[in-house]
Amino acid sequence: MAPPTQPLSINQGTLREQYDFRGFVEACARSGITAISPWRDKVAACGLQEAARLIKDHNLRVSGYCRGGLFPATTAAERQAIVDDNKRMIDEAAVLGCECIVLIGGALPVDSSGKRSRDLRGAHKMIEDGLAAILPHARAAKVPLAMEPLHPMYAGDRACVNTLAHALDLCDALGAGLGVAVDVYHVWWDPDIEAQIARAGSRILGFHVCDWLTPTRDMLLDRGMMGDGVIDIPYFRRLVEKAGYKDCIEAEIFSAENWWKKPGDEVIRTCIERYRTVC
Amino acid sequence: MAPPTQPLSINQGTLREQYDFRGFVEACARSGITAISPWRDKVAACGLQEAARLIKDHNLRVSGYCRGGLFPATTAAERQAIVDDNKRMIDEAAVLGCECIVLIGGALPVDSSGKRSRDLRGAHKMIEDGLAAILPHARAAKVPLAMEPLHPMYAGDRACVNTLAHALDLCDALGAGLGVAVDVYHVWWDPDIEAQIARAGSRILGFHVCDWLTPTRDMLLDRGMMGDGVIDIPYFRRLVEKAGYKDCIEAEIFSAENWWKKPGDEVIRTCIERYRTVC
């Protein structure tokens, strides 16, 4: 398969231990990277206006802004606070010029006594309600929302929208302004993925890559560099291209014991090489 | 919800560190357990005929026999050897009087140089071919085969049939003699599970319970005792009952750092109590 023509974007999570926001932007820019995906905590530490200035000065695309959603909570007041916070995130994304906001569903909620809910379908409903509550704000701000289904192993304590089919059902229910992000790490196992990516079509707002290592030593922080695992990444690129996707290919690698411990320039250089050769 | 009326079966994996086959059978019997699900390595260590005698002497149902399948392999010769081994397992199951054999798909195959395949769809095809090759033998022996979809986190290195929908597609393709085992640990996250359990109907040959802990500290060996995690087990019991399932409720808990370290009688006592109160 020919190398990708879509730009490589570096997700800030890939270098979260190496850099603050300024360092991240400068490292990407000096490596010839033309697109990034910032994390909200890093932007906050930098200051929103300063972050926007850095992005503009380095002429960077912003392929996504990580990460919103996380709607389920035990009380109505908590859920309203989460909705309000997501609206603030939309405003920030507009200032930064983000092409979309990446949302994840959120966990089964934990009540004030520390007990976690078992009501998965109730949590699904809270996610749909939360999305419905922020969508008008997102539409007005012209910031598309990308629901990212997360791997089913995160359903309990992180995010309980776990298939592209479910994310697309939410899009169908809620309409314009909501799309999906497809991360190969989360969907590679899905026997229905070809049909679902075709179904997604123009609603694909982001395409994320990394790799699934065997064995995986940590459920959250042991993602592999593209090419080091078992995911047939070109297969997924073909599928999203066939669906009409033309935007960035975003490298998002949480790797506490490997890539987070290496010099940032080396990580970026490796991402670029693997983007060219195995994506 | 009223306590279950189906018998509790203890899967030998729940007590694999505490007992050999004889010890397991005797511990279950003295606790009033009327059904078990043995593992093949334990039966082999005991001797097949002796294992069959122990089962008969203690008047135990055998709800399942763990575990076959694991079909994908790089060479045709390896795949044939796996098929032959599955046929031997069917013969053993007939001797033991097992109500079904539990099969899992198998991993992405590793070649002789140690490289793991990225061809997920090729592995799916090998699983279908392997099932087709052993089904005539299973039908002749009157041993039903239960394909158990495993959690998607096992797709790379353990089993790449990961949804009940996929397992049922295999049943549809291959016909009589093949059914499914539904383990709440593997399917609890699936937004489509209600429709798929209804679709399964009389093809449900096993119903397995344990719980999903938050956090989960090990992807293989940190299952929770029923009631200690986030799975709404009665919801799933209702679904399988509605689909017509009337056989055993099997407790299968791999727990290296907790239940495997406790005295076997205490584990069985706890399974019985939780079966009565939270299943």
What pLDDT, on a 0 to 100 scale, did the predictor assign at position A5?
A: 92
Helical (H) or strand (E) element with B35: strand B35-37
- C-beta atoms of A230 and B151 within 8 A: no
Residue with tokens 């679902």: A196
Give the residue from chain B lying closest to A120, CA to CA. B189
pLDDT value, residue B1: 78
Q: Check if the beta carbon of residue B31 is closer than 8 Å to that of residue B265.
A: yes
Q: How far is A36 from chain B (nearest CA, A)?
A: 28
Interface contact flag, B191 A116, Cβ < 8 Å = no
pLDDT at A276: 97
The pLDDT mean for chain B works out to 98
CB distance B116 to B158 below 8 Å: no
Contacts of B163 in chain A (CB under 8 A): 190-192
Residue type for position B139: R
- In what helix (H) or strand (E) does residue A57 lie, and over which residues does it extend? helix A48-57
- What Å distances lie between residue B166 and A191, B121, B163, CA to CA? 7, 12, 5
Distance CA B46, CA A23 (A): 63
Token pair of B271, please? Answer: 């399974």
CATH architecture of A8-278: Alpha-Beta Barrel (3.20)
Show the low-confidence residues of chain B (pLDDT under 70): none
- Token readout for A189 is 């196992």
Residue A216 pLDDT: 97
The tens digit of pLDDT for each residue in B202-224 reads: 999 999 999 999 999 999 999 99
Are B230 and A118 a contacting pair at CB < 8 A? yes
Closest CA to B195 of A121, A179, A155, A104: A121
For residue A191, give the DSSP letter. T
In the numeric block, the tokens 């398969």 are attached to: A1
Q: How far apart are CA A181 and CA B57, in angstroms?
A: 58
Share of residues in chain A with pLDDT > 70 (%): 100
Give the amino acid at A257.
E
Residues of B in contact with A151 (CB under 8 A): 152-153
For chain A, positions 141-200, list CB contacts with chain B under 8 A: 151-153, 155-157, 160, 162-163, 165-166, 169, 188-192
* Triad B129, A191, B239: Cα angle to 5°: 95
Is 0.90 exceeded by the ipTM?
yes
- How far apart (Å, rounded) are the C-alpha atoms in residues A78 and A188? 34
Choose, out of B196, B232, B237, the residue to mutate when testing the contact with A (most A CBs < 10 Å).
B232
Residue A212 and residue A216: Cα distance in Å, rounded?
A: 7
Distance CA B56, CA A125 (A): 50
Angle at A270 between CA A266 and CA A274, to 5 degrees: 175
Size of interface A-B (CB pairs under 8 A): 92
Q: In the sheet where A65-69 sits, what is the strand order?
A: A61-62, A35-37, A8-11, A249-251, A204-209, A178-183, A145-147, A101-104, A65-69
A42-69 pLDDT, tens digit each:
999 999 999 999 999 999 999 999 999 9
Residue B151 neighbours by CB under 8 Å, 6+ apart: A152, A153, B162, B185, B186, B187, B189
| Residues of chain B neighbouring A163 (CB-CB closer than 8 A) | 190-192
Q: Which residue of B has its CA nearest to A121?
A: B191
Q: How far apart are the first and last CA of chain B?
A: 9
Residue A66 phi, psi dihedral angles, 5° rounding: -105, 140
- Cα B71 to Cα B57: distance, rounded to the nearest angstrom: 34
Rounded CA separation A182/A222 (Å): 19
Across the interface, of B157, B160, B214, the residue whose CB is closest to A215 is B157
Residues 6+ apart with CB under 8 A from A182: A148, A164, A197, A200, A204, A206, A207, A208, A236, A240
CA B84 to chain centre: 20
Of A119, A153, A160, the CB nearest to B151: A153
The residue whose two tokens read 């975003």 is A250
B153 contacts A153? CB cut-off 8 A: yes
Predicted confidence (pLDDT) at residue A17 exceeds the cutoff of 90:
yes
Euclidean distance between CA atoms A272 and A9, whole angstroms: 10
Distance from CA of A39 to the nearest CA of B (A): 24
Distance of alpha carbon B134 from alpha carbon B86, whole angstroms: 7
Please indicate whether, in this complex, the C-beta atoms of B216 and A153 are within 8 angstroms of each other: yes
- In this prediction, residue A1 has a pLDDT band, given cuts at 50, 70 and 90, of confident
Taking only the tens place, the pLDDT of each residue in A125-167 is 999 999 999 999 999 999 999 999 999 999 999 999 999 999 9
Positive or negative, the CA dihedral B147, B151, B152, B155 is: negative
Query: What is the pLDDT at residue A165?
Result: 98
Mean pLDDT, chain A, integer: 98
> Is B18 within 8 Å of chain A by CB?
no
A275 close to A8: Cβ distance less than 8 angstroms: yes
Residue A262 CB burial class (10 angstroms; 0-12, 13-18, ≥19): middle
